[in-house]
């Protein structure tokens, strides 16, 4: 949240950057970027102890008091802060980063799966499913992509990862919706762990 005053020059100069931040995270359903006219809503400004402008506050899901933001005022600073605090992986352009969807706790088992013989892969796949079942939230959703990819590798062989990556790159080079771009980018990122 950005409390601002319409009379504040710093607020006016920060506004274009703040709009870019909002645009970068518009596809994230759990991230809300908002601003507040503290001249108009003096009661809220007082409630949150806002005396200078612009004041930047971060409100995690279960924190109604908010946290003061005191990092840099450039677009990349804001995006990095939000990515870190919210568990997102967005770039300043709003697109998912190459790290989006990657689950570090699955790295070793995927490496084991990739280097295993065909006979060994089924047992490792079962362990992968067990590990994915332990995940929560967005990691659980992304974990399902891991198991789908591993299953396709079992069905179609080692060329599946290369062929599917090429297919996704072709789709991503076309005009597609932001939601589809996110979906395809997540899958492509996760496929890279199987390469």
* Alpha-helix runs per DSSP H in the chain: 9-24, 42-47, 75-86, 107-115, 118-133, 137-156, 159-172, 178-192
Boundary of a domain, candidates 86, 114, 140: 86
Q: How far apart are CA 25 and CA 37, in angstroms?
A: 21
pLDDT per residue as tens digits for the range 10-20: 888 888 999 99
Q: How far apart are CA 15 and CA 78, in angstroms?
A: 13
In a shared domain, residues 64 and 134: no
Q: Please give the share of the chain, as a percent, with pLDDT higher than 70.
A: 96
User: How many domains does one find in the chain?
Assistant: 2
pLDDT confidence bin for 155, thresholds 50/70/90:
very high
In a shared domain, residues 136 and 179: yes
The answer as to whether 97 is a domain residue is no
pLDDT per residue as tens digits for the range 25-78: 999 988 988 888 888 888 888 888 888 788 888 988 888 888 888 889 999 999
Boundary of a domain, candidates 86, 113, 135: 86
Please name which of 175, 103, 179 lies closest in space to residue 135, comparing C-alpha atoms.
103
Phi, psi at residue 8, to the nearest 5°?
A: -90, 120
pLDDT of residue 87: 87
pLDDT per residue as tens digits for the range 136-152: 988 999 999 999 999 99
The answer as to whether 99 is a domain residue is no
Contact 99, 87 (CB under 8 A): no
pLDDT of residue 40: 85
In a shared domain, residues 155 and 82: no
Q: In the chain, what is the greatest distance between 2 CA atoms, to the nearest angstrom?
A: 70
Domain with 52, as residue range(s), is 2-86
Q: Across all residues in the chain, what is the average pLDDT? A: 91
Contact 75, 20 (CB under 8 A): yes
- Distance between alpha carbon 132 and the CA centroid of its chain, in Å? 19
In a shared domain, residues 80 and 137: no
In a shared domain, residues 81 and 8: yes
């Amino acid at each position: 949240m950005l409390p601002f005053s319409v009379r504040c020059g710093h607020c006016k100069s920060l506004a274009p950057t703040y709009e870019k931040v909002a645009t970068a995270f518009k596809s994230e359903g759990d991230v809300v970027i908002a601003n507040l006219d503290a001249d108009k809503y003096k009661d809220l400004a007082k409630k949150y102890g806002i005396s200078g402008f612009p004041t930047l506050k971060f409100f995690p899901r279960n924190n109604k008091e908010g946290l003061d933001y005191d990092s840099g005022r450039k677009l990349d600073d804001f995006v990095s802060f939000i990515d870190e605090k919210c568990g997102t992986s967005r770039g300043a352009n709003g697109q998912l980063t190459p790290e989006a969807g990657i689950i570090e706790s699955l790295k070793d088992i995927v490496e084991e799966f990739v280097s295993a013989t065909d006979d060994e892969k089924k047992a490792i796949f079962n362990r992968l499913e067990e590990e994915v079942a332990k995940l929560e939230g967005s990691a659980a959703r992304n974990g399902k992509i891991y198991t789908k990819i591993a299953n396709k590798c079992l069905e179609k062989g080692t060329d599946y990862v290369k062929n599917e990556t090429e297919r996704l790159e072709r789709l991503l080079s076309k005009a597609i919706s932001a939601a589809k771009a996110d979906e395809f980018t997540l899958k492509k990122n996760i496929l890279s762990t199987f390469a």
